Every structure is written in structure tokens, then in C-alpha cells.
């Protein structure tokens, strides 16, 4: 019994939150990796682009709520996804047309494009703050919990409760659906294949008649979908605040590089690697060991490896270690 209790503690406080956070990071990391692989630059506006899409979801949620439209027990924000995605794609294509395409046609070095993305970051951040302001916003409505701790205790008769928030399930389900559709698209359709060809060898792809404009456009569209959905899921699970989204760029970059930048599968797993590392290394295991060990051996400290203040620092340290020993990422991305 104690063993099951210990497992439930671990599941409740580490595994489920890590899976949720990992999925949100994974969507962002695939976004980074797609832009890097196909458009060939590190996009420093990542966090703010995710924030931009989410902003529309937040505003539309408020609008829908004021009109009395709801999605039953699901959050209203899910209804706004198509509109937010559409706005996001429009913004991204506009930015590409006015800013990035000039340097792509000129074949500027990737560093220059990265610098340009800094400019896009500043502008996007300004637009977001002017439209919605810098404050913290919650836009989750509908059922909050699928399984409450007390219900679980009654059901199983265990000491420890298991809580499952609806946002956690939504995050996992949506991520699995979106990512599988994306991988199917990249691997099985003709457009997806042409995108991969363009990523591998631009000149050969052009020779075989692939239209670069179309590839770029579709990349931005997929990126827009991923960024918006990733941003909305994060906002539903925690809350929406522009500054936090900007900062999320850092673990997302770490996830993309750990997985091997340019490799979407790697980015997907990289997200979970970062999330699990962050949560497992900062969790206080005292309660877990209290169940497992005999009373005489019970720990009197928190049994915490690192304080939660170092959450971000952990993911960055992982990145440094990976860069040192396996510079092309765990799953072998593009060559550095």
C-alpha cells in the first residue's frame, strides 16, 4: 500500500505536471526547429510570437464570454483557436513579406537573420503590450478538474490523492493530435516531402522544381499553428503574461538544441527532457521517501536536490552539457 502511495505522490507532483509542461515546450521547440531547419535562422522572436497568438485567444475568449458563448465543460479558449491561428498566420506572413524575405533572397548569413529577428521581437513585444498590456491574465473557464484529490481518495481508499486538471488532459490530447498530424504531413504528403528536401539541400530542391515561396509559406503556416496552440495551452494551464512568454523562449531554445536543432522529432523529445529534468531535480522527495523507507530511516530534510529557484538554470545547464559532449544534440540534428 505504501508503495502505491509513494507512486501516486510521484505521479501527482512530478510526472503529470512534467508531461504537461513538456508538451507545451515541445510545441514551441518544434516551431523553433522548423524555422531553423527550413528558413535557416535562430528565431529570437519565438516567445513573443507565441504570445502574439495567445493574445488573440485571450481577447476573443473575453469577447465570447461577454456574448454568452461557451464550450460547455471545455474552456472557451478552445473555440477561439481557429481565429487566433488565422490572425497569427496573417501576422507571420506579413512579417515574412516585409522583413525576412529581403534577407532570404539576398542570401544573408544566418547571423544577420537572427539579428533581424531581434527587431521583430522588439516590435512584436511592443504591439502586444500596447494592445493587451503587461498584466497577468487568466482565461480558463469550464470545468477545472477532471479528478479531484478527495474523489480519488474515496475511490481507491489510498492516503494520497491524485488530482488531474482538465488543462493537463487537454494539453496532452491536443499536443498528441497536433504533433501526429504534423509528422504525418511532413513524412507522407508531397508538400511535406518537398519541405524536407528544401531543408536538406536547397539547391537540389530548387533544381527538382520545388517552389521555394510555397515551401516558405507553408513553413510559416505550420509554425503559426504550433506557436499559437502551444501558447494557448501554456496560458490555459498557468496564465497569460507577456513577460513570461518572452522568458519561455529560453527553455524552448534549450529543448530544441538538446533534441538536435533542425530535427522535429528531436525537438519533440527535447521538450520532455527539459521538463522532466526541471521538475525531477527540483522536487522535494520527502513525502515519497516517507512512504518507502521504514520509520527509523525517515528523512528529516526536504530531500530536494536543488531549490525550485533554479528551475530555469537546470535546463540551461543541461544544454551546456549537451553542447559540450554532443554538440549536434541527443538526436543528431543539423551539423554545427
Partner 1 sequence: MKQYLNVIAAYSIMLVLIILVGIFQSWSIALSIFNYCMISAVMTMGANIQWGYAGLINFGIMGYTALGGLAVVLVSVAPVPEAWHVGGLNMMISLAVIIGMVISIKYILKKIQKSKKRNYLIAAIIFFGLILIKLISGPAIEHIEAVEPAKFGFLGGLGLPVLFSWIVGGFFAAGLAYIVGKVALGLRADYLAIATLLIAEIVVSIIKHEDWLARGVKNVIGLKRPAPYEIDLQTSPWFINLVEKFHSTKLATINSLSEKQDLLNQLVIDASSIYVKLCFAGLFLVVVIILLIITQKALYSPWGRMMRAIRDNEEAASAMGKNIVKQHLFIFILGSAIVGIAGAMMVTNDGLFTPGSYRPMRYTFVIWVMVIVGGTGNNFGAILGGFVVWFLWVQAAPMALFIINLFTAHLPETNGLKVHLIESAPYFRFLLVGIGLLVIMRFRPQGILPEKIIKQ
- Where on the chain is the footprint of partner 1 (CB under 8 A)? 41-42, 44, 99, 102, 109-112, 114-116, 118-127, 129-130, 133-134, 246, 250, 253-254, 257, 261, 307, 309-310, 312-313, 316-317, 319-320, 323-324, 327, 336
Q: Considering beta carbons, is residue 71 or 310 the nearer one to partner 1?
A: 310
Distance CA 52, CA 64 (A): 19
* Crossing angle (nearest 10°) for helices 16-34 and 242-258: 80
* Nearest distance in Å: CB 185, partner 1: 26
Q: Which of 218, 297, 180 has the alpha carbon at shortest distance from 38?
A: 218
Of residues 65 and 307, the one with the C-beta less far from partner 1: 307
Residue tagged 507522407 (cell numbers) = 188
Q: What is the DSSP string of 104-160?
A: HHTT--HHHHHHHHHHHHHHHHHHHHHHH-SS-B----S--EEE-HHHHHHHH--SS
Q: At what angle do helices 242-258 and 264-282 cross, to 10 degrees?
A: 110
C-beta of residue 248 within 8 angstroms of C-beta of residue 314: no
Q: Which helix (H) or strand (E) holds 269?
A: helix 264-282
List C-alpha distances in Å: 134 to 54, 57, 129, 131: 13, 16, 6, 9
Give whole-number Cα distances, 118 to 37, 122, 185, in Å. Answer: 19, 6, 30
Beta bridge partners of 165: 145
CA dist., res. 117 & res. 95, Å (int): 10
> Measured between alpha carbons, how far is 171 from 25 in angstroms, rounded to an integer?
11
SS3 304: strand
Q: How far is the CB of 21 from partner 1 (least distance, A)?
A: 18
Backbone conformation region of residue 260, classed left if phi is above 0, alpha if psi is from -120 to 50, else beta: left
Amino acid at each position: 500500500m505504501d508503495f502505491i502511495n509513494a507512486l501516486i505522490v510521484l505521479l501527482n507532483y512530478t510526472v503529470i505536471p512534467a508531461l504537461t509542461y513538456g508538451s507545451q515546450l515541445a510545441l514551441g521547440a518544434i516551431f523553433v526547429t522548423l524555422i531553423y531547419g527550413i528558413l535557416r535562422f535562430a528565431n529570437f522572436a519565438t516567445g513573443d510570437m507565441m504570445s502574439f497568438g495567445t493574445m488573440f485567444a485571450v481577447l476573443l475568449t473575453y469577447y465570447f464570454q461577454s456574448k454568452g458563448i461557451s464550450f460547455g465543460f471545455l474552456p472557451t479558449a478552445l473555440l477561439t483557436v481557429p481565429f487566433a491561428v488565422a490572425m497569427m498566420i496573417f501576422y507571420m506572413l506579413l512579417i515574412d513579406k516585409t522583413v525576412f524575405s529581403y534577407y532570404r533572397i539576398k542570401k544573408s548569413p544566418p547571423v544577420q537573420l537572427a539579428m533581424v529577428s531581434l527587431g521583430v521581437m522588439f516590435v512584436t513585444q511592443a504591439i502586444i503590450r500596447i494592445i493587451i498590456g503587461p498584466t497577468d491574465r487568466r482565461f480558463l473557464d469550464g470545468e477545472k478538474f477532471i479528478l479531484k484529490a478527495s474523489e480519488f481518495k474515496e475511490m481507491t481508499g489510498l492516503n494520497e490523492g491524485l488530482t488531474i486538471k482538465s488543462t493537463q488532459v487537454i494539453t496532452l490530447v491536443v499536443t498528441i493530435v497536433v504533433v501526429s498530424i504534423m509528422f504525418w504531413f511532413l513524412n507522407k504528403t508531397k508538400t511535406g516531402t518537398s519541405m524536407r528536401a528544401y531543408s536538406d539541400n536547397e539547391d537540389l530542391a530548387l533544381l527538382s522544381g520545388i517552389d521555394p515561396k510555397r515551401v516558405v509559406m507553408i513553413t510559416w503556416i505550420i509554425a503559426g499553428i504550433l506557436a499559437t496552440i502551444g501558447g494557448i495551452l501554456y496560458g490555459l494551464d498557468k496564465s497569460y503574461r507577456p513577460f513570461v512568454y518572452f522568458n519561455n523562449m529560453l527553455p524552448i531554445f534549450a529543448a530544441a538544441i538538446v533534441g538536435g536543432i533542425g530535427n522535429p522529432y528531436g525537438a519533440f523529445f527535447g521538450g520532455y527532457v527539459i521538463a522532466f529534468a526541471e521538475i525531477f531535480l527540483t522536487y522535494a522527495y520527502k513525502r515519497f521517501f516517507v512512504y518507502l523507507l521504514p520509520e527509523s530511516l525517515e528523512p528529516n530534510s526536504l530531500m530536494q536536490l536543488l531549490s525550485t529557484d533554479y528551475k530555469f538554470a537546470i535546463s540551461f545547464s543541461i544544454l551546456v552539457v549537451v553542447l559540450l559532449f554532443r554538440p549536434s544534440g541527443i538526436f543528431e540534428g543539423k551539423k554545427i
